[in-house]
Structure 1
Amino acid sequence: MEKLIKRICITAAIAALIAIGTFIYHFGLGFASNIGNWGAVGDFFGGVLNPTFALLSLILIAYTLMQNKKALEQSEKAIEQGTKAIEQNEKALQVSNKELELTRNELANSSKALEEQASLLAVQSFETTFFNMLELHNKLLSNIFYVRRDFSEKIIKELKIDFIDDGSANAKNLNSVDSLNRLLYAMNSAHSRTGFKVSITSIFDIFYRYENKVFGSYCRNLYQILKLIKLGIKGFSEQKKYSNILRSQLSNQELTLLMLNCTSPQVDEGQFRELIIYFELLEHLDFINITPTDQSPSFFRVNNPTINIDSEIINAYIKLNDDGKLLKSAFGQNAIFFQYCEGKGYI
């Protein structure tokens, strides 16, 4: 473009010089004598140079238009290329977004898989501990052995009675269940020999002081199993599955011992009893409700072995709402218990 402008300017200068030179050659130098001669001079130069300058201007304009056209074409190509680049970038972004989404999904799936794996490992770890403690529970139960001991004389002296019968004369075996039978039989014997004037809870407290080493570790292990279930498993329905496994192994003698054990203030501050209520562990206890008479108030009689239980002990395993209605109990759906609740107006 710059070269063309220079050439046009040079051409215009040469044309002007030729016109001036020609004029001087034919007419010489000097000023015209009248206005008409001045007009003729102007017409000469205008007629000679104007077409030349007009042609050069036309050439320059045409060239400029051609250059503008090329520039526009190049701009259109650049815009088209830019548009294609933007479309490609959009496609690349879409692909990138899909890849990110897939990556997110994979991470989410991986995270979920890790959570499931961690949950499975936690359940496996819990079950390993749970069944090991169940095995220990059975070992502790098998190690329970009770016969009338020398310190039974201390119990007799403390209660001011003449004798405690542990039923050993009728015992056929010396296994753990038979030992529990003798222990509960001895408690009931002591209870009856006081004329039922001393509560069974007080009787148990005395036996607890002297005979705790017979059954203490067994009860403490059972408490730890229930605590493990409640803290180690989420959701009551899942917890109940494991507590039911434990409950299915408990004999009537064990349930009776647990009921007495967990009402004793010497054991704890009620934490064990709360767990028994929470898991409804006494639902299958074999007992009946003895209606009150003029001579005696209402009480419960546990079967196998026979032992009389005060209503206060049963009430210790009941939770009522603010309206005095049954909210939850350790006896679950036990029919005898529901008859008692109906009589008390709890349901």
Structure 2
Amino acid sequence: MQILISLALFAFVCVLLFTAASQASVRKGSKRTNLLAFWGFAGVAVIFALYFISIYLSWWEVEKDLAQTMGPFGDSFGPLTSLFSALAFAALIWTVVLQGDELQLSRKELALTRQEMTDQRFESMLMRMLEVHTSIVSDMDVRAGGNVVVSRKDCFEHLLMQSFLHRQHNIFKKSGPSGSVPDSFNTYQRSPQTDRISLAPDEVTMNAYEETYKENRNDLGHYFRSLYNILRFISESGREDKFDYARIVRAQLSDYELAINCLNCLSEHGVEKMKPLVEEFSILDNLPKDLYLSEGLMARFDERALKTPKQTA
């Protein structure tokens, strides 16, 4: 009979462990389904019932007169005591394992919450910086001659196609023999014979931009400082998806803005700080070919600046 009860206990432990493994992660609403405890109590009750029935029916070698055989009767609980002590120890270990799983899950949820908060702070700060940058562009105004004032994003077209090219033409004209302009210099007229905005010598082009910048430094200086800080903020964030945020910034730039940024990156105002960021995020990828500078000037850029690298999965 002792062998049968031992086998029953072994079977019960197996059922108990199987139930624990299958139900440990089951939830209904906010409460854990505690089938493990139910089967535990039920199993203990059944085993004790079987034990007392076996004694009462003389299945166990214990005298019926319990008053005279109290010592042997108490000793008869030895095997059960050992088994239940082992079960209690196993339950303690299982509780520790469950608590460890819960703690690990809590840590993961906390890490996700922190990441979400970090993402929200980053995106909120970036949106505020873009709003400030948009207001800076909205406040830009350039006098186009007489009482005509060009404002907002139209400023960049005027600065490039009128102010910059006019200065480039004048500088090149003064540097030519007897103040003449070679036939090859047709940039100012933007002849269909060329697909670039600058065929003048590189030094002439950069001198023309420097004069344009100095005349409009109040607007251009503020604009470039704002754009630089936005790109630097994205670059220093250390995010794996920072290029996606840089795309958002790049999408806000018009064609003429890109051309002005191209010139600025090659000047003393942007070659050290702005140019590396423009190359890192391929800001000039959308620059139209007819607004390219000379081949020599464009060659100063890393190829990343003009072409978005393929994203690897």
Question: Which of the five TM-score ranges fits, normalised by the shorter chain?
Answer: 0.5 to 0.7
2:171/2:208 contact within 8 Å kept: no
Offset of 1:268 from its aligned partner? 5.6
1:85 and 1:221 map into 2 onto residues whose CA distance is: 77
- Label 1:82 to 1:177 Cα distance change in 2 as closer, same or farther (>3 A): same
State the SS of the aligned residue for 1:146: strand
- Gap change, CA 1:333 and 1:117, over 3 Å in 2: closer
**1:128 equivalent in structure 2:** 124
Q: Distance in 2 between matches of 1:142 and 1:103?
A: 58
Counterpart position of 1:34:
none
Change (3 A) 1:106 1:192: same
Native 8 Å contact 1:277 1:317 kept in 2: yes
- Normalised TM-score (structure 1): 0.55
Partner of residue 276 from structure 2, selected from 270, 274, 277:
274
Q: TM-score scaled to structure 2, two decimals?
A: 0.60
Match of 1:218 among 220, 223, 228: 223
Unaligned 5+ runs, structure 1:
1-73, 148-165, 289-301, 303-307, 319-327, 335-347
* Partner SS for 2:142: coil
Residue 96 to residue 138, structure 1, CA distance change in 2 (3 Å): same
Q: Deviations over 1:185-224 (max 9, x none)?
A: 2111111222235432232233333422121111111111
Q: Deviations over 1:67-126 (max 9, x none)?
A: xxxxxxx79975x65543332222112211221111111111111111111100111111
Q: Which residue of 1 aligns with 2:266?
A: 263
The 5-angstrom pairing of residues 83-162 of structure 1 reads: 83-147=79-143
Q: Is the 8 A contact 2:282 2:307 kept in 1?
A: yes
Structure with bigger gyration radius:
1
Structure 1 residues 86 and 273, CA gap change in structure 2 (3 angstroms): farther
After superposition, the Cα gap between the structure-2 partners of 1:261 and 1:176, relative to the gap in structure 1 and judged at 3 Å, is same
C-alpha displacement of 1:134: 0.9
Q: 2:307 aligns with which of 329, 332, 346?
A: 332
1:264 offset after TM fit, Å?
A: 1.4
Q: How big is the alpha-carbon RMSD for the aligned residues of Structure 1 and Structure 2?
A: 2.8
Q: Name 1:175's counterpart in structure 2.
A: 151
Aligned residue pairs, count? 211
- SS of the equivalent of 1:232 reads coil
Q: CA deviation at 1:231?
A: 2.3
Q: Which amino acid aligns with 2:264?
A: N
Output aligned runs, 1:1-347, within 5 Å.
81-147=77-143, 168=145, 174-184=150-160, 185-195=162-172, 196-197=200-201, 198-232=203-237, 234-235=239-240, 238-267=241-270, 269=272, 271-288=273-290, 302=291, 309-318=293-302, 328-332=303-307
Give the distance between the partners of 2:205 and 2:255, measured in 1 at CA: 17
**3-state secondary structure, aligned to 1:250:** coil
| Aligned residues of 1:145 and 1:176 also touching (Cα < 8 A) | yes
Aligned 8 A contact 1:230 1:239 in 2: yes
Query: Using a 3 Å threshold, how does the CA distance of structure 1 residues 96 and 139 change in structure 2: closer, same or farther?
Result: same
User: 1:35 is matched with which residue?
Assistant: none
Amino acid of the structure 2 residue aligned with 1:331: L
CA distance in 1, matches of 2:295, 2:72: 101
Check the 8 A contact 1:146/1:180 in 2, yes or no: no
**Is residue 205–residue 266 contact of structure 1 (8 Å, CA) maintained in 2?**
no
**Relative contact order, higher structure (CA 8 A, sep 6+):** 2
Contact kept in structure 2, 1:199 and 1:310, CA below 8 Å: no
In structure 1, C-alpha distance between the alignment counterparts of 2:118 and 2:224, rounded to whole Å: 26
Q: Distance in 2 between matches of 1:282 and 1:267?
A: 14
Q: Note the residue ranges of structure 2 that are not aligned, 5 or more in a row.
A: 1-70, 173-199
Q: Could you tell me whether the CA contact under 8 Å between 1:240 and 1:279 is conserved in 2?
A: yes
Q: Distance in 1 between matches of 2:252 and 2:297?
A: 23
Q: Distance in 1 between matches of 2:294 and 2:88?
A: 81
Q: Give 1:139 deviation, angstroms.
A: 0.5
Using the TM superposition, give the Cα deviation of residue 178 of structure 1 relative to its aligned residue in structure 2, in angstroms. Answer: 2.1
